[in-house]
Each structure stands twice: as C-alpha cells, then as structure tokens.
Amino acid sequence: MAKLLYQGHSSLRIVTDGGTVVYIDPYAGKGYDRPADLVLVTHEHYDHNQVRLVTLKKGGRVLRHGDFLAGGKYGTVVFRDLTVEGTPACNKNHPADRCVGLLISVDGVKLYDAGDTSSTGYMKQRLAREKLDYALLPTDGVFNMDAREASECAAVIGARHSIPIHMSPSAPFDEKKANAFHSEGKIVLRPGDEITL
C-alpha cells in the first residue's frame, strides 16, 4: 500500500507500493530526502511550487497546473503506477484557469487533493460519486475556504476519510483550525505524520 507523509501546509509526499516517489506542492517541512519520480504543482503561488527542494530522478517529471488544464478542459496523466486527473480549483484568490485540484488513483486508493480552492460545483457533480478514500481540503479561511466551509465540502464529497490541510498562511499547521474542521472519518495529520493509504 502507498504511504502518505504530511510535510505541513499543503506539502505531501506519496510513496507507492511499487516505490514511485511523488511530491505534491513542495514548500513546507521536512522529508525531501527521497529523490522524486514525479512532482505535482497545483498552482504557482510560492507556498506550493518550491520544486528546488526536490531532487528529481533521471526520467522524473514535474507536472504543473497547465499539464492538467488546457483550453478549459481538465486532463489525465498516467505515470507509472499512478493516474492523476486535474479537477477544478478556484476562488477569489485563485483564478480557475491557473489552479487545479488533483484526483489521484494509486494502489487501489482514490485520493483528492483539492489544491487552493473554495467550494466548487464539481465536488457535488462528480466527486460525490467517486467513492473517494481520502479528501484533503484547505481550511485557512484567508486565501481559501475556512474550516466550516471545508467541513460542508467534506460532507458533500463523502470520502471515507477527510484531512484538513493549508490551515494557516504563516504556519505549517494550526491546531485550532484542525479542531474546527468536522467530518465523518476525519484524520488530523501533523507535520511529519505518515499514514498508510
């Protein structure tokens, strides 16, 4: 089974059962010691795109929002043992044509990383039917939705587990925001926590 390391803020590392190393939105925390096969960047704000923290393996790839969104259409990339599909992500601080969320299928698990966003119609129209295992949702209430709105999104999406991320513009983790987020199957990850998906 794949393992997910929460590095803090929106930064994640996934290592698949087959050994593929994936970083999402590198910026916060530790855990960049493993060379990457794949780096995923949901958008180009500085707190999501610090690719320089990652050593890329020979043949490794960096995929940015434009690799998943072109001409208003969201696409899918298959890379080794992962399938990654772009999804809508937007709000007043994040234009829809410059940001994506990510729907990731790996080792029989479906994971949704919302990117920087507020509630979108896509959550109800598509994600609610996906039978997701994990949904990672921003909760900062400054640049994205707050914990209340994120809790409402979690209820709509109906993932088996929901995880609050991107809790503060100035810190990698915020206990108060984590506690304010509510959902069935809620998991709180602190920077450095790793789970088996």
Predicted local confidence at residue 27, as pLDDT: 98
Q: What is the mean pLDDT of residues 109-123?
A: 97
Q: How far from chain centre, in Å, is Cα 34?
A: 19
Q: What is the mean pLDDT of residues 165-186?
A: 95
**Domains in the chain, number:** 1
Query: 41 near 62, Cβ under 8 Å?
Result: yes
CATH number for position 49:
3.60.15.10
Q: Is residue 119 part of a domain?
A: yes
**Residue in this structure with the two tokens 């990510």, named with its chain if needed:** 102
Domain assignment present for 100: yes
Tokens of 84: 């990654």
pLDDT at 115 over 90: yes
pTM beyond 0.95: the answer is yes
Tell me the HSE value of 18 on the side-chain side, using a 13 A CA sphere. Answer: 10
What pLDDT score was predicted for residue 61? 98
Residue 185 located in a structural domain: yes
- Residue 179: in which H helix or E strand, if any? helix 175-180
Residue 34: domain span: 3-190
pLDDT, tens only, 125-158: 999 999 999 999 999 999 999 999 999 999 999 9
Is the residue at 195 inside a domain? Answer: no
Tell me the pLDDT tens digit for each residue of 73-99: 999 999 999 999 999 999 999 999 999
CA-CA distance, 189 to 5, in Å (whole number)? Answer: 9
pLDDT at 190 over 90: yes
pLDDT at 36 over 90: yes
